[in-house]
Structure 1
Amino acid sequence: MSYRLIVTDIDGTLLSRQGLILPGTRAELARARAAGATLALASGRPLPGLRRLVRDMHLDPSGLVLIGVNGAVVADAASGQVYNRRALEPSITARICTIAQSYPVTTMFCAGDDLIAADPDAERVGMEVKGNEMNFVHLPDMTRVEVPVDKVLLCGPNKVLTELAGVIRAEVGQDTESSFSAPYYFEATAAGVDKGSAVRAYAESVSIPMEQVVAFGDNYNDLPMINAAGMGVAMGNAVEEVRAAADRVTASHDEEGIAEVLADLFGDGSPAERSEELKANTMYEVSFEELLSPGGE
C-alpha cells in the first residue's frame, strides 16, 4: 500500500516528553514528504498554537496541513488559508456553560485566535494564552456568549470532569462531540466535528482515499482518526482504548514510535538518513506536561 497522507497528533505523539521532535522522526517525516506524502498535524490546539509550533519546531510549512481544535478548523500552514471551519452555535455553548458553572472547573472558549474566559488570572487561562499565543477576551458571564466558538475547553480535577462530562453528554450530547484530551481537560466541539471527520473531509477534497492515510495518536480525542485511517497507529504510551482500536501499536513518543512505522512504509524498514540541518535539538517551549500542571506530570 502506498500512503499519501500522514496525520499525527502532537502531544504524546509527535513530541517527546521533553517537547522535542526526535531526530529519527524528523528524518522519516522528511523522507516521506520528499516521496510525495502530505503531512497533517491534528491537535486539540487552536490554529495560533499550531502556527507557533511549526515556527518553533522549524517545520517546513509548504504543503503542511493544520487540523486544529480537534478538527473544527483545517488550514494551510504556509498561506494561512482556512479550508474548513465548523463552530459551536452560541446557544449550545451557553447550555454547556450553564451546566459547568455548578462545578469547580475553569471554562474557556477557543474562537479563532481568541481565548475567551471569565477569569483572566486563572492559571490555566494564562497557560493557554501564552502557550498558544492567543488573544485574551474577557467575558464575565460565560453563559452570555454571542459568537460561534470552535471549542469549549473545561479544566479541572479528573474526578470532577468525569462527573461533569456525563451530565454534558446527557444534556447536549446530540448537539456536540466531546472527549478527554488529557486527564485534566474535557473538550466539546460541534456535532460531527472530531479529528476523524476533519481528516476524511480533507482527504476527500484532495482525492486521497482513506486507505492511503496513516494516522498516529495516543489519547481519546485521537480515536476518531485512528478508526478512520487506512492504518491507525497507537503510540506505545497511548491509552488502552486507542491501543485496542489501532491497526498497529508502535514504540512510545520517547522512543521514535512514528519513525519506526514510517521507516517500514517509506524505507522497507531501513532508517532514513539524518541531516545536520534538521535542528533535532530544538525544543518547543510549552510542552503538554507543562500545560497540564506546573513542573509536569
Structure 2
Amino acid sequence: MKKIKMIFCDLDGTVFPIGSTQITPRFVHAIEEAAQRGCIFVPCTGRVLPTIPPEVLALPSCRYVIYSNGSATCDLNTGELFHQVLMAPEDTAAVLELLRPYDLFTELFVEGKILISRHCTEHMGDYYVPRHHLAWFEKNPSPGIEDLADYVLEHQVGVEKINITLLESPLREEIMAKVDQLPGVRHVSSGASNLEIGDSKANKGIAISLLAQQLGIPMDCVMALGDNDNDLEMLLTAGVSVAMANGTPAAKAAAHLIAPSCNEEGAARIIEELVLGQTAAV
C-alpha cells in the first residue's frame, strides 16, 4: 500500500457515534497526528455547510470540506467554492411537484441556508426534524416560503440538494421510483428513513477526485471512510476505502476494508493503523 496522503471522511455514522454529533478526543488526536505527517483531512458529508459542527471545521488540519453529498467543495481559509454542482431550477421544481401530494417535511439547501415552506414552518412540531437542523432553524428563524416550486422558478435558484426526513417504507420506495423517472436528478440516502435528491452529476466520488487532482495527490494515496449509500461513489473511487461495521451492506461491498463501528471509535482506529502505523488499542 502506498503512503496515504489524503483522508476523505464522512461524518454521521462514520466519525460521530450513533445518536451524537461530537467528535471524540481519540479521533481528533489521530487526525492531527496524521496532519503532522503531511496527510490532508477533508470532511465529506451529506450535511449542508451550516449544520457541520464548528469543532470539525475548526480542526487545524481541516482546510477543505465537501458537503451536500458532493455538490460543493469549499476552501475554508478563503471561502472560495472550488467545485459546485447545483440542481437546475426546473429540475428542482419538477421534484417538488412530484412531492406536492405528500405531506412531507421537505428542505432545500441553498447558498448556506435551509429553505422550507410556510406550512412546514407553522407545523414543525408535527414532523421529525433532525436536531442539528432544528438548531439551525432556531438560530435563523424564518416565516418560510409560500410555495417552494414557484420560488425556485421565479428566482432561478440553484439548489444543492432536497432533503426529506422520516420517510418510511413503502412510501420511500414509491417516491424513489418516481424520482428515477425524472431526468437530471438522482436520489441517495444517508440514513434509514431519509431521502436526498440532487443533481445527477453531484456525488462524493467526483468531488474527492477533483480535489485530489487539484492538490496533485494520486488516487492510490487517498483513503475514504464512509458508512452509507451516499458514500458509495467515494468508496469506489478512493485507492483505499473503508466502510464502518455499522455501515449498509452496499457500503461494505464497495469498500476494501471494514473498520469497527463508529460507536467503537472505528474511524480513529483505522487511521491509527493505516496512517500512523499504530496497532489500534482496544
Letter in 2 for 1:200: S
- The gaps in structure 1 that reach 5 residues or longer are 273-297
- 1:102 shift after superposition: 1.8
Q: Which residue of 2 aligns with 1:202?
A: 211
CA 1:34–1:190: 2 relative to 1, 3 Å: same
Question: How far apart, in 1, do the equivalents of 2:203 and 2:221 lie?
Answer: 19
Q: Which residue of 2 aligns with 1:211?
A: 220
Summarize the alignment of residues 85-104 of structure 1 with structure 2, pairs less than 5 Å apart. Answer: 85-104=84-103
- 1:125 shift after superposition: 5.8
1:44 aligns with 2:46: yes
* Paired residue total: 267
SS at match of 1:60: coil
Q: Which residue of 1 aligns with 2:36?
A: 34
Q: Percent identity?
A: 25
- 1:103 shift after superposition: 2.2
1:175 aligns with 2:184: yes
Question: How far apart, in 2, do the equivalents of 1:42 and 1:58 lie?
Answer: 11
Bigger mean CA deviation after superposition, 198-207 or 99-108: 99-108
Question: How far apart, in 2, do the equivalents of 1:38 and 1:29 lie?
Answer: 9
Summarize the alignment of residues 41-120 of structure 1 with structure 2, pairs less than 5 Å apart. Answer: 41-50=43-52, 53=53, 55-57=54-56, 59-61=58-60, 63-118=62-117, 119-120=120-121
Q: TM-score, normalised by structure 2?
A: 0.87
Aligned counterpart in structure 1 of residue 148 of structure 2, from 142, 150, 172? 142
Question: How far apart, in 1, do the equivalents of 2:260 and 2:43 lie?
Answer: 19
Question: How far apart, in 2, do the equivalents of 1:163 and 1:213 lie?
Answer: 37
Summarize the alignment of residues 126-137 of structure 1 with structure 2, pairs less than 5 Å apart. Answer: 127=131, 128-131=133-136, 136=142
Q: Report the RMSD for the aligned CA atoms in angstroms.
A: 2.1
Letter in 1 for 2:161: K
| CA deviations over 1:213-252 (Å, ceiling 9, x no partner) | 1000111101110111101100011011111111000100
- The gaps in structure 2 that reach 5 residues or longer are none
Q: Which residue of 2 aligns with 1:155?
A: 165
Q: Which residue of 1 aligns with 2:25?
A: 23
Question: How far apart, in 1, do the equivalents of 2:57 and 2:63 lie?
Answer: 12
Q: TM-score, normalised by structure 1?
A: 0.83
| CA deviations over 1:43-68 (Å, ceiling 9, x no partner) | 11111122xx1x23584245521101
CA 1:189–1:129: 2 relative to 1, 3 Å: same
Question: How far apart, in 2, do the equivalents of 1:57 and 1:93 lie?
Answer: 30
Question: How far apart, in 1, do the equivalents of 2:225 and 2:136 lie?
Answer: 23
Letter in 2 for 1:148: G
Q: Which residue of 2 aligns with 1:286?
A: none
Bigger mean CA deviation after superposition, 87-96 or 114-123: 114-123
Aligned counterpart in structure 2 of residue 226 of structure 1, from 212, 235, 238? 235
